[in-house]
Chain A
Amino acid sequence: METLSFEFPAGQPPRGRALVGCVGSGDLEVLIEPGLAGKLSIQVQTSVNGSEQRWQHLFARMFDGQTPPAMSIDIHDFGATPGVVRLRLEQGFEEIGHD
């Protein structure tokens, strides 16, 4: 298991928060809360060691060419594929938009 931190430039914080997923096999839990203006911070606890580059690429691609809201994101990962991670994050972003 390892704990990783990431930061990206961001805009204003969202109003809502969201929880999606579960720390089950091949899945992950994502908690999204409003962060400090200008900053998107992500904490990842993952059961897969040596995966920092993979996460970095995944986030960089997701936020490429856009200014995401200022969020504080907590991820508890239990071996999810990049596709599942992306899906969960998009679900979460959609939910904070609704609240």
Chain B
Amino acid sequence: MSSYSLRGLRWFEALSGGASAVQGLPASLKVADVSLGEHTARLLAVVTDPDNHFPRARNGEVGLLEGWGLAKAVDEAIDADRNAVNKRALIAIVDVPSQAYGRREEALGIHQALAGAADSYARARLAGHPVIGLLVGKAMSGAFLAHGYQANRLIALRDPGVMVHAMGKASAARVTLRSVEELEALAASVPPMAYDIDSFASLGLLWETLSVEQIEQPSATDLARVFDCLQHAINDVATAPRDLSSRLGATHRAASSTVRQLLRAQW
């Protein structure tokens, strides 16, 4: 059993079906263009790279190279489709344990690298590319902000290993001066603090959750189901606004709507 997750890589391999990888990117990124029914799509995944030039980013973390590399891979798609009527979808396969924590990362401006990735994904969405986030593992904090959270539509696989959060449990407990047990008890009654995907779904941020048979190594049925869902998501985006407004409306997120209504009234 490896200490790091292989889900992102396995889902990338399954979904790309042997399509040739886009070259010129860091080894920690897997990027390929595929056909999805009538659509074309660029799949993007951050994977482990034991030889990463940056030692703090060898286990699938989103670091300097990953942030800027994702930006480059997305920018290429934006440029290539600049005059296309149907712009390719960008599918971020999300299995990111964290951002990279290290001295080199801070010194060289990892915040700027992650901004690069978020920028490119957001520009792609505004330019009319359907951007879909497919959550197959962890979607943590800064790593998720850089890879996936700018998507028009978020799809999560229903599995205990799929979780979205601002900070890992151990660190969050330390920072909030609680034990992990206290944190878990609190999370049970405060949906935004919970780690499980159903609590996250209750915030209205997901477009769809999907059950699969073998999340670690997708079966043919799993693959068909996810392909189908991705196509629906892409179709759903086609005539929808290019902003993130579809994430608003859940009762557990009522204040986010109220604040916007009041701002508009007082603007």
Q: Do chains A and B touch in the complex (CB under 8 A)?
A: no
